[in-house]
Structure 1
Amino acid sequence: MLARMISLDPVSRNDHGLRGRAGPRKHLLALAVLLGSLGIVVALWRVAYQRELEASRQGFVQDAETVVERVRQRMVKHELVLMGGASLFASIARPTPGQWRAYVDQLEITNRFPGMVGLGFAGYVSQAQMIALQREWMESGYGRLEVSPRGIRPYYGPILYLEPRTAVNSRAVGFDMFSEPVRHRAMADAGDMAMPRLTGLVQLVQDGDQQRESVLLYVPVYLGGLEPRTLSGRRQGLLGWVYAPMRLEPFVRAALGEAGAGSDLRFSIADVTDEGARPLFSSLPSPRKQPPAFVHVFELDHYGRRWRFTFHSGPIAVAAPQLRGLYWTGALGVLVSLLMYAVAWTLVRTQARARALAERMTEDLRRSEERFRIAVEHSAIGKALLDRDERVVGVNAALAKIVGRDRGSLAGTALSSLFAVGESRESIDEQGIRRSNRQIVRQDGDVREVQLTFSPIPGNVGQDVASLVQVEDITERVRAEARVHALNRTLEARVALRTRELSQANQELEAFAYSVSHDLRAPLRAIDGFSRVLIERYARVMDEEGVDYLGRVRKAASRMGELIDALLKMSRVGRGEMRLARLDLSRLAGEVVEELRLSAPERHVDVVIAPGMAAEGDAALVRNLLGNLLGNAWKFTRNRPDARIEIGVTGERDGMVEFFVRDNGAGFTQEYADKLFRPFQRLHRQEEFAGHGIGLASVKRIVERHGGEVRAEGREGEGAALHFSLPAIMEKF
């Protein structure tokens, strides 16, 4: 029996019970971590949210109060302009219209005070004084002073001066502002209190029926320019009022644009001095898609009126953009809380899975050991466990059968004692596996050839097991290999004999070809020589038919000689030793074409040679190949006035490059294409195109010696294309 290699203590049932009780507690702990971290994140986020929101609100309020202050300062500037006009009456009892125009022109109120329609003076006159004033106005050449609305009243407040003198301002001169209740209230208060006063919302005479929100600012003017101390003195000394009509829309816009502050705020202004609110100005969007984040109301008391400013901020995303980052911070805090929970949950699950994995590994290990024991025990290959001294710890039945001994007697035996004395060649691979072949001499005297494979294996602490050896009986295989080697030696001898016989046959064939060509040339020369002598000496005694016959004999003998030369040339193509090198086919083709042009300078043939064509081959043979192909193309385009020859590359596949030679010559019928590459096979008559029928046969032999293929394509009367393949350039070149 083989000893067990590994053993682990199984997890006890008490451990399972402990794990079952501890699991829910740890899951509750992970949940508590999640809830606690989320509570802290929410509390901190709310504090930060309120702080950032309050900071944004304070900034909004400051901007709103800045706008109110700018409007107030703008109104003060208008007051100063009116006070300057009132001071003019202190130096002059009543300035003339020309003097008033000069004063107003230098102020440039149109450019400097947007919204101010003009600067004028309204007199405070009684009914008796009005008649004298109209007479004085006519006598001074100022024109007729028409007071409107007409009617008899105790006191009047007609507009006497209003500059700049525009068409709409001229229409307002003579209007009795004291007769209109809103203006009357502001004018009376200004005169009684000796202070500037502002009207409520009025309709200016200059605007006609057009509705535009406007107000007027009045500054009282007293006799001598001095302010009486008593109410009765003020009423008796009141000369009139310097006033300025103002349109509120451009006035407020100018106040905002002057400081550049609050231009992005949206607000409205309403007069709340009396009951109800009278709207004066509004820049609030209508309708509003989103409610404002902040609303601020501010009331301003000035010049006897109370104005209410209502400011609206943008939505929360615009009014407090920094909150967006706070949202991300809160989301990050929640994410961190979830990560903490995930970490705690993972730790709990990891511990549970580790326990389950340990149990599964223990069971897997037990089954692995069982499989190992069964595999070793029932293996057909002999196996043995060895200690560090390579002594047998245990063996299987197959090993006992190989060595021919009992399993019990092998325990404690040195493994080397089972082998015959002799040297053995041992190899060791990268994993430390040793292999060697040895001989075992059985107790019955039988010698067996075995292959040993030593594999180091780990064992438990205290176990004396170091390696596993496999002993495979290869006796029959060794004997079979010996028989194969003997048969191979016999086969090699037979191959060498057949090679020598083939070489001798080739030599005899070459000698025969040379002898035939040499022996045939002598009678051909005799036939040609005697025929020539007959023609030269006896042509006069022979008729024309006899001379013609002798000429034909000479031509046949000459053609026979050419055929013998072509046959020898083709035989040499298949015999010579090949010297492979890198070839520039573009250059070789150019040289062949140049030779063809020199041989027939009267011909004009368009030859196109693709650049960069290269292949591997024998230079002499490939030159011969190109000479035959280009020579054929040159010959068969003889009757074409627009003769064209092209040589190029088709493509590369399986280490071979395919080239082509194409022409537009006589061509041939495609069904006879196979005959082109047979010796002495011709598709055209000798009278049309001379030749021996050997060129394309030589081309085929050259291409096949290089391992390639050749094929032909053509159509009669339209030209032909010859395709051939040669080895591609290898990296070593």
Structure 2
Amino acid sequence: MSRHHPGETTPARSRPSTRRGYVLAALVLIGSLLMVWLYAQAAGEREQRLRQAAFVAQGGEIVMLLRQRLLHYELALRGGVSLYWSVARPTRRQWRDYVGGLDIERQFDGLLGLGYVPYLRRSDLEALQLAMRDDGEGLFQIRPHGAREVYGPILMLEPQTIGNRSAVGFDMFAEATRHAAMAAARDTGEVRLSAPVELIQRGRDGRRNGLLMYAPIYANGIQPANPQARRAAMSGWIYAPFHARTFIDSALAQLGAGEALRIVDVGEGGDGAAIYADADFTDDPAAAVLRHSETLDVYGRRWRVDFQSAVAGDGVAAGGYSADLRAIIVAGLVVSLLLFAVVMALAHTQSRAERLAEAMSESYRRSEQRFRNAMLYSGSGIALIDGSGRIVEANPALARIVGVAPGALAGTPLATGFVGPAAQVALTGEHAGPTTLQLRRSDGDIRLVELVHTPVPGDVGSEVAALVQVDDVTDRLRAEQEVRQLNRTLEARVEQRTRELTLANHELESFAYSVSHDLRAPLRTVEGFSRLLGERFAGSIGPDGQDYLARVRNAANRMDALIDALLKMSRITRDPLQQADVDLGRIAAEVVAELRQGDPGRTVEVRIEPDLHACGDPALLRNLLQNLLGNAWKFTGGRADARIEFGRDPQAGQTPGRIALLVRDNGAGFEPAYASKLFRPFQRLHGADEYEGHGIGLATVKRIIDRHGGTIHAEGGVGQGATFRFTLPAPGSDGHC
């Protein structure tokens, strides 16, 4: 028989304990879920009863609203009966005034009108037709045609809408459903409703289904006591047609019930003709809805009103739980799951602890193996030292740096071979950063090494106190020294070249001003004496001499203008840039306005795209647009349909921080082979006799674009116009440069 020590735990004993923990967790979960379910069932039944009671009460309120609406219609009918009793037979004008005073459209929503239907025997009909013909109303036609003992045609129906006018002349006594309601009103002396009928008029939804309400009129305004006498004294009816859907909607508008409703006219025989039904009303017994029905006796008819809550999906109305109850159920489920999780966590504690201990042991073994591999294959020298500074273990890289065999370093002081007092400080410091020291190898060579000293915790009883990493940086430091020396040489050369360039610029500027001053003096002399010669000796030199003098003066003025253009172009590259957010569209509009003012006789179509902004020097960008738009204005001078366009370049791709623009015209254009010469000073592709200018404008444009770090190129053809595409810096998202 085998025996186990008291503290020893075997797998056979641990499995039943773990199973008991799992069973306990399952029992806790099942018990808590059962309690939540029982509570939810009881609370749900209680809420369902409350909802059903509220649903029935709301149904009663809807029935009351329907009764009130029908009573409202009855009052309008009885008012018409009173009018007939008071004047025997009102005229059409009197009837129209009465109905107009009721304001049916506002006060009796759903009612199509009020009409009068006479009770006519055959002889009475002929007398009525003769009387209406004598009054100039023409022959009164009755539909449907045919000889009958008694007629009940619609004689008057107000207001006179298109549908109501088409109903006049219809014999309602000839149609069975209408006949039954009219006869019931005649024999009982009370207001009566018809069964559902097809009306002549259409409702708002385009349908004809509706109801008719009749009030009887007796001769002399006295209602006889029995049905036979009532038939003998019958004079006619006041009737009101109304559409079922409009009637129901208007009656329930103030309630806003949000319920599905169906009204069925069960009649005396219980035939069940539908009067009204909501689109979402369903007879599906599986639908989770509340249902309730009430019977309504109205004006000789019996209606069954079926109520139904909203279909499934509406939380409370569909038989679900209320928000509060759902929250309680969810909370109970959460608590149940939490209890289950707690018990399950306790059941797993021992198993997790054992697995964790095993994983930590494996992790320690792998960590040790990784450290050994790092030591073995590292390119840096690594040594573990004890508290007295002796090497406990070293890798092959350190042996190569020191110049000894790999096994010869163990037990030797690490400080052996390092030169200088700084070595002792670096070797004994804690968390010492990289320190560059001199190391004398075993062959006597002095090397520069970078040393890092870091204390490390060792195992209990271990001699290891710190880790030292040594890297031979001799070659790297020498290379860095050479790079620094080369950089100092380059900086000196750049500084010298900068001074030379600055001096050259100053000399060029002085030369430009000196040349302009020295050239202008003789030019003014030539121009002045030529003018005096022409004025004082005009008769002596003759016409040819005058022409020669004029050419001399023009050449002098042209050379003076060229000197001004050169000075302006030199200032463009000399003055410092003033960066700002520039509205190019506004500047372009101002430039075009100046061109129009200077040449008012021309008609040019100019298109400027709005919201064009760029970052740059406002004065230089204005100069740029003046040159480009001025060129376009000048070279379209020979066209009657001159057109100039300035806006974004649609062919350019999106470049961050840049805006691509173009200036296009339909003017004289240029030869594409010479496009590269356009931006050179004094390069002209057209003769001075064709278009005036100095050949400096586009060169100025090129310098302005270059100073803003952009690009420009030209496209065009002879007689096909020119397009200048260029880029400029764009403002940032915050509108600043």
TM-score (norm: length of structure 2): 0.51
Inter-CA distance 363–601: structure 2 relative to 1 (3 Å threshold): same
Task: State the Cα distance separating 1:362 from its structure 2 match.
Answer: 1.4
Q: 2:398, 2:669 → 1: CA distance? A: 79
Q: 1:610, 1:440 → 2: CA distance? A: 74
Secondary structure at the aligned position of 1:653 is classed as coil
1:563-582 aligned within 5 A:
563-574=562-573, 576-582=574-580
Task: State the Cα distance separating 1:659 from its structure 2 match.
Answer: 4.0
Secondary structure at the aligned position of 2:684 is classed as coil
1:710 maps to 712
Task: State the Cα distance separating 1:697 from its structure 2 match.
Answer: 0.8
Q: 1:432, 1:481 → 2: CA distance? A: 26
Give the RMSD, CA atoms, in angstroms.
5.5
1:667-686 aligned within 5 A:
667-668=669-670, 672-686=674-688
Inter-CA distance 658–289: structure 2 relative to 1 (3 Å threshold): closer
Task: State the Cα distance separating 1:359 from its structure 2 match.
Answer: 1.9
Q: 1:492, 1:365 → 2: CA distance? A: 55
1:22 maps to 14
1:34 maps to 26
1:639-718 aligned within 5 A:
639=638, 647-648=646-647, 653-663=655-665, 665-668=667-670, 672-714=674-716
Correspondence 1:728 to 2:730: yes
2:582 maps to 584
Structure 2, gaps ≥5 residues long: 53-185, 189-282, 288-315
TM-score (norm: length of structure 1): 0.51
Structure 1 letter corresponding to 2:688: Q
Secondary structure at the aligned position of 1:31 is classed as helix
Task: State the Cα distance separating 1:673 from its structure 2 match.
Answer: 3.9
1:559 maps to 558
Q: 1:439, 1:21 → 2: CA distance? A: 66
Instruction: Say which structure, 1 or 2, has more relative contact order (CA 8 Å, 6+ apart).
Output: 1
1:242-253 aligned within 5 A:
none
Task: State the Cα distance separating 1:420 from its structure 2 match.
Answer: 1.8
Correspondence 1:377 to 2:347: no
Inter-CA distance 518–425: structure 2 relative to 1 (3 Å threshold): farther
Task: State the Cα distance separating 1:413 from its structure 2 match.
Answer: 3.1
Structure 2 letter corresponding to 1:699: V
Q: 1:643, 1:525 → 2: CA distance? A: 39
1:134-160 C-alpha deviation (Å, 9 max, x unpaired): xxxxxxxxxxxxxxxxxxxxxxxxxxx
CA contact (8 A) 2:415 2:423 kept: no
1:487-528 C-alpha deviation (Å, 9 max, x unpaired): 333333444444455455555655665566556556655654
Secondary structure at the aligned position of 1:677 is classed as coil
Task: State the Cα distance separating 1:484 from its structure 2 match.
Answer: 2.5
Inter-CA distance 580–395: structure 2 relative to 1 (3 Å threshold): farther
Alignment: residue pair count: 473
1:153 maps to none
1:367-516 aligned within 5 A:
367-386=366-385, 392-404=391-403, 411=411, 413=413, 415=415, 418-421=418-421, 434-442=433-441, 445-463=444-462, 465-503=464-502, 506=505
1:239-278 aligned within 5 A:
none
Inter-CA distance 549–455: structure 2 relative to 1 (3 Å threshold): same
Q: 1:563, 1:525 → 2: CA distance? A: 14
Structure 2 letter corresponding to 1:26: T
CA contact (8 A) 1:392 1:415 kept: no
1:1-20 C-alpha deviation (Å, 9 max, x unpaired): xxxxxxxxxxx999998246
1:379-427 C-alpha deviation (Å, 9 max, x unpaired): 331112245676644333332443456765664736598342359999x
CA contact (8 A) 1:648 1:661 kept: yes
1:104 maps to none
Q: 2:355, 2:394 → 1: CA distance? A: 36
Inter-CA distance 707–455: structure 2 relative to 1 (3 Å threshold): farther
Inter-CA distance 421–35: structure 2 relative to 1 (3 Å threshold): closer
CA contact (8 A) 2:438 2:446 kept: yes
Inter-CA distance 388–715: structure 2 relative to 1 (3 Å threshold): farther
Task: State the Cα distance separating 1:326 from its structure 2 match.
Answer: 11
Structure 1 letter corresponding to 2:15: G
Inter-CA distance 698–338: structure 2 relative to 1 (3 Å threshold): closer
1:640-697 C-alpha deviation (Å, 9 max, x unpaired): 6676655555597332333444555544566654332222233433233211111011
Secondary structure at the aligned position of 1:725 is classed as strand
Q: 2:591, 2:187 → 1: CA distance? A: 107
Structure 1, gaps ≥5 residues long: 1-11, 61-165, 169-286, 292-317
CA contact (8 A) 1:582 1:614 kept: no
- Counting aligned pairs with the same residue, the percent is 48
CA contact (8 A) 1:644 1:664 kept: yes
Q: 1:401, 1:347 → 2: CA distance? A: 56
1:85-484 aligned within 5 A:
344-345=343-344, 347-348=346-347, 351-386=350-385, 392-404=391-403, 411=411, 413=413, 415=415, 418-421=418-421, 434-442=433-441, 445-463=444-462, 465-484=464-483
Q: Mark the structure with the bigger radius of gyration.
A: 1
1:162 maps to none
